[in-house]
Structure 1
Amino acid sequence: MSKITLFHIDDHLLFSQGVSSLLKGAPHFEWLGEANDPESGKTQVIQIQPDIVLLDYFLPGKNGIELGKEISGFSPRSKLVLLTMEKNHTIIQQAKEAGFYGFIPKSAERDVLLNTLLNVAAGEKIFPQTKVQDIEENPGLSKFKQLSKREKEIALMVVQGFTSVEIAEKLFLSLLTVNTHRRNLIQKLGFKNVAQLSAFLNQIYKY
């Protein structure tokens, strides 16, 4: 039986090396390599056509779901799995809609990681259940849906505790642009300050 080939794209080198160590010693899997930036990762995936591609959500210049869509156009046989800290229903739903086969939180234990990858390789789609009822009943949701893609991305990073400087570095934006987006978020959603915005976003992105 041929082994399941894997490739990992994550800009956190130490984490990627840790995943590599876990999977290299596991039966059924063959580790083909890792990349720390989106373009290098996409190029390598196109060349080697792995069975499964693991992607982080936050990557330099674009998120893992956007990158996954690009990869699927060149390597349709590769099954995409989001391996990330960003555990919220919005990202999980986006991954499903983009054709991903699974979602694994970075906090998952080794057995969960291995079993999920085995099931994905067999053609199953593995996603956690999310609690969306509170979100659907939230009157601010209609306003949130009207935000631009970039505004939603920055909103998520605000919830995760990133500062404006960190957001600017991560998304390759100027600090002025990030601060403008943050002000726009407050105005568009009808809040008076960052505290109200943060409370609302925590409701939107919670499980």
Structure 2
Amino acid sequence: MKEKRQVLIIDDHPLFREGIKTIISRNGRFEVIDEAGTGREGFEKASQLKPDVVLLDISLPDETGMEVARKIRHHLPHTRIMILSMHSKIDYIVEAFQSGATGYVIKESAAERLAQALEAVASGEYFLDSSISHEVIAKLMNSPVKEAKVSDAGYGKLTSREQEIMRMLAEGASKGQIAEQLCISVKTVENHRANIMRKLDIHSAMELVRYAARLGLIDVDLWKE
């Protein structure tokens, strides 16, 4: 008999986790091996158990599901990640897939779509909840394609890691958040930041934001309320 695929649930609502476990228990091909209510606890359990699939909420009390997804993708490349969220906005969906998720299901649809989503994600396929697919496609069709405008000589002096950290700093990420996402120490982030500022002859965070916006590296709308 074929072994069941193992599932870890990371969600801060105990009642919702119970509901998901009930749904999965009806499927003979999957089993829930553990659950967690915070991002930190979820990542620790994922690292220990190495599940086939992680069901992950975006809104967690200590860190975002996107941050957890990036860490799991980095440390457990064979574990598939599926987002279960109440959010259906295109921005959340795009960031989820960019963070390493291969499936996205709205919580309201879980009862009817979770089994199908698990089958797809566990098989290495992508799954997008059909209740939001039309909205996503429409948004993408109406979104102009942004072309890279990076041509500054100073930017070219940065290493690939420095360029990555520069963008994250310009987008407002803290040194601690960057260290967490890239799995490096805060001290290393500080050293990279110092090198970036020196190479670009920039002396403040706002100057860095203006520089990144001028090159088209960040979306200036991120800084609007």
What is the TM-score with the length of structure 1 in the denominator?
0.64
| Contact 2:40–2:62 under 8 Å retained in 1 | no
User: What residue in structure 2 maps to residue 24 of structure 1?
Assistant: 25
1:71 aligns with 2:78: no
Deviation at 1:135, TM superposition (A): 6.6
Determine which structure has greater relative contact order: mean sequence separation of CA pairs < 8 Å that are 6+ residues apart, divided by chain length: 1
Q: How many residue pairs end up in the alignment?
A: 146
Aligned with 2:143 (options 130, 136, 145) = 136
> In structure 2, do the counterparts of structure 1 residues 136 and 45 end up closer, same or farther at CA, with 3 Å as the change threshold?
same
Larger of the two Rg values belongs to structure: 2
Identity among equivalent pairs (%): 27
Deviation at 1:109, TM superposition (A): 4.6
Q: Name structure 2 gaps, 5 residues minimum.
A: 145-169, 174-220
- 1:140-168 C-alpha deviation (Å, 9 max, x unpaired): xxxxxxx9457xxxxxxxxxxxxxxxxxx
User: What residue in structure 1 maps to residue 126 of structure 2?
Assistant: 125
Deviation at 1:119, TM superposition (A): 1.0
- 1:147-193 C-alpha deviation (Å, 9 max, x unpaired): 9457xxxxxxxxxxxxxxxxxxxxxxxxxxxxxxxxxxx9x54xxxx
User: What residue in structure 2 maps to residue 40 of structure 1?
Assistant: 41
1:91 aligns with 2:98: no
Question: What amino acid does structure 1 have at the position aligned with 2:47?
Answer: I
Deviation at 1:133, TM superposition (A): 5.5
- 1:95-174 aligned at under 5 Å gives the runs 95-128=96-129, 129=133, 130=136, 131-132=138-139, 136=143, 148=171
Question: What amino acid does structure 1 have at the position aligned with 2:83?
Answer: L
- The SS at the match of 1:119 is helix
Question: What amino acid does structure 1 have at the position aligned with 2:53?
Answer: I
Q: Name structure 1 gaps, 5 residues minimum.
A: 138-146, 151-185, 190-196, 198-207
- The SS at the match of 1:103 is strand
Q: Which moved more, 1:124-133 or 1:38-47?
A: 124-133
What is the TM-score with the length of structure 2 in the denominator?
0.59
2:125 and 2:9 mapped to 1: Cα distance?
A: 19
RMSD: 2.3
- 1:84-120 C-alpha deviation (Å, 9 max, x unpaired): 1011111111112122110010001533110110011
